[in-house]
Amino acid sequence: MAVVAPTEPLVVVLRAISRAGFAYTPTKALCEAAGWRLVDDEPDLGYVRSDMLLAAGSDERRPVSVLIAESNKPPFAFVPLFYFEEYHEGREPFDLAFRALAEQLAGFLGAATRSGVYSYPHRAGWSYSFAGWALADATLVLVQDEFDIQFGMDVTLWVQPAGAAVEAPVRYE
């Protein structure tokens, strides 16, 4: 998977989803207006998922999952941007991907409000980085993690309601 950050116009759509309160109907309309292909329309299960093209001139696509307000407290969205399967061989590509994505996002969001590292007890000696932006309309957090380890470790952009704390790991129950 190539390291390609979402462009500023795509992040504008993600922030608009937050401003719309992650509500089902406006979320679907915003994704459709952005040209994102609807993949899963599951309001009864509490989410919608679209396929977004990351950049003009690129065929790199990523899934955007939105846990809608009607079913989830708090609602949020996430976009896995990079999967790292070869973590047994060293972490350099994982760290380079995180830094590249964080720099690309900071290019139009400005400096991160907060950044740091965290770890898990089950993976001693392995740290994960995060960078977050507390914006007026959304909290964005870029996180190295193992959200869905069947695909490897990941770098994921989380979109939370405005006012959410910039914290890692990002977890919801």
Q: What is the pTM assigned to this prediction? A: 0.93
Q: Which residues contact 76 (CB under 8 A, 6 or more apart)?
A: 22, 66, 67, 158, 159, 160, 161, 172
CA 49 – CA 28 distance, rounded (Å): 9
Provide the 3-class DSSP secondary structure of residue 48.
strand
| Strands of 37-42's sheet in order across | 37-42, 47-53, 61-67, 76-84, 153-161, 138-145, 127-134, 114-119
For residue range 17-42, list pLDDT tens digits in order.
999 999 999 999 999 999 999 999 99
Per-residue pLDDT at 130: 97
